[in-house]
Structure 1
Amino acid sequence: MKLYHYMDEVFGLKNLSNRRIKASTFDNLNDPFELLGIETSTPNIRLSLNKMKLDVSRKFGILCFSKIWSNPVQWAHYANNHKGICVELDLSNKEDTREVKYYSERLKSNLIYDRNFPLKLLLSKFKHWEYEQEYRTIRELNNFEKEDGLYFQPFNENMKLSKVIIGCQSKLTRSQVESSLSAQEQGVEIIYSRPAFKSFEIVKYQNK
């Protein structure tokens, strides 16, 4: 399964050189409704959910991917206004990576009695995030590499780098990206992107 991960230009080159992508914790994601996607007007439920979110954030990390690289909004939000890069990753363990579901309303509070309640919350987001077509891998933090208080997932047999896409407003050159690749990734395809001529999409720059 091929999925995509966006990075800015500075950390993008550094992560390529170190053969890895960054993992996040749930308390540092950009959606304040993470793990709080059920109706919480009842104080006890609200208290329990906030405690659960804190506990999960201390124990678990998350890798965020997209099914596509053509959406300009994602480039703007996650790749420094199209100045960064997007990497294509070939993930062989499909059971380890799950698709996010999107909802127009918060889930009913009685979901807490469902045995799949924690997983459903982990994979639920507001419908307005649907453009991201997100997939997630969730693991205990001790399964990631740690550096300067941050967590990283190295490239390996289950997550191989297969392509690097340079943002349409990036000043990075193909040679800069090539020089950041390790020996294991030499030969990986590197392409430039551009705005499409007939749609609101980002596409491959064929002549560059």
Structure 2
Amino acid sequence: MTATIETYAPPALLYRFRKIGVAPDFPNQSTRREIEGLNEGRLWCGEYHDLNDAMEGLYRAGDAARGQPQWERARTLIRDGKTSVGIACFSEVWQQALMWAHYADSFKGICIEYDFRVLRETLADNTSFSRVSYADQLLDIGSDLENPRRLAKWILSTKHHSWSYEREWRLFIPERGLVRFDRAAIRRIILGPRMSANVAQFLEANLSRYHIVRSRVRGYDVEVD
């Protein structure tokens, strides 16, 4: 027999950090893409190769896996599962300075706050969320090779412990592309403390349906009023 894993207390809110661009106009691709996605209720889910961690997707297959007759087929299906799935990355925290530095254009971007329940309930049935786990060693996939696609998601939900400050959740969709959700899931949009005044004003005008707040740095903290 095997004990089940149950999660009773998912976070109420999730956050997504985004680069927005420095030129406040629609010809700017980053600005246009983010504004259109927010106003239309669309999320981009990219390939794992596009993520910034060069160790993404690595895993260990020991003798228990390699000794099985279906190993070669399973290895191919795991590889295909990793390359085909679409991923969007979220965090449980918005005040983490490294997140602003790495994913929001050195504090010049935005952080989108989502109601996690509303987001989950309004995404398509073929999507799923996974909380990322952090470890010192590569994930050993063990001997159960019956579901290579599940193994691919497991591999893509495991990172080195040096990334643990991200407190990451990942949204998986069957293949890379856009996925729709109800805009009611967006609680507020936090503007980075280094965002220029003209870019902030442009976003406030073009995202007027949302609650937008400006942040600031106070000591070693990122704050909003």
Question: TM above 0.5, one fold?
Answer: yes
Give the 3-state SS of the residue equivalent to 2:59 in structure 1: coil
Q: Decide whether aligned partners of structure 1 residues 49 and 121 sit closer, same or farther in structure 2, where only a CA change above 3 A counts.
A: farther
- Per the alignment, residue 36 of structure 2 pairs with 17
CA displacement at 1:177 relative to structure 2: 1.5
Gap regions ≥5 residues in structure 2: 1-11, 22-29, 122-126
Q: Decide whether aligned partners of structure 1 residues 13 and 180 sit closer, same or farther in structure 2, where only a CA change above 3 A counts.
A: farther
Gap regions ≥5 residues in structure 1: 145-150
CA displacement at 1:50 relative to structure 2: 7.3
In the alignment, is the contact (CA less than 8 A) between 1:35 and 1:49 conserved in 2?
no
Distance 2:60 2:130 in 1: 20
Distance 1:164 1:13 in 2: 16
RMSD of the TM alignment (CA)?
A: 3.2
CA displacement at 1:165 relative to structure 2: 0.7
Distance 1:97 1:109 in 2: 20
Larger Rg: 2
Which one-letter code corresponds to 2:129 in the other structure?
T
TM-score, normalised on structure 1? 0.74
- Per the alignment, residue 178 of structure 2 pairs with 152
Q: Decide whether aligned partners of structure 1 residues 108 and 55 sit closer, same or farther in structure 2, where only a CA change above 3 A counts.
A: closer
1:55 maps onto 2:80 in alignment:
yes
Which one-letter code corresponds to 1:18 in the other structure?
G
Report how many aligned residue pairs link the two structures: 189
Distance 1:121 1:131 in 2: 19
TM-score, normalised on structure 2? 0.70
- Per the alignment, residue 31 of structure 1 pairs with 53
Which one-letter code corresponds to 1:29 in the other structure?
L
In terms of fraction of residues, the more strand-rich structure is: 1
- Per the alignment, residue 27 of structure 2 pairs with none
Distance 2:96 2:14 in 1: 13
- Per the alignment, residue 190 of structure 1 pairs with 212
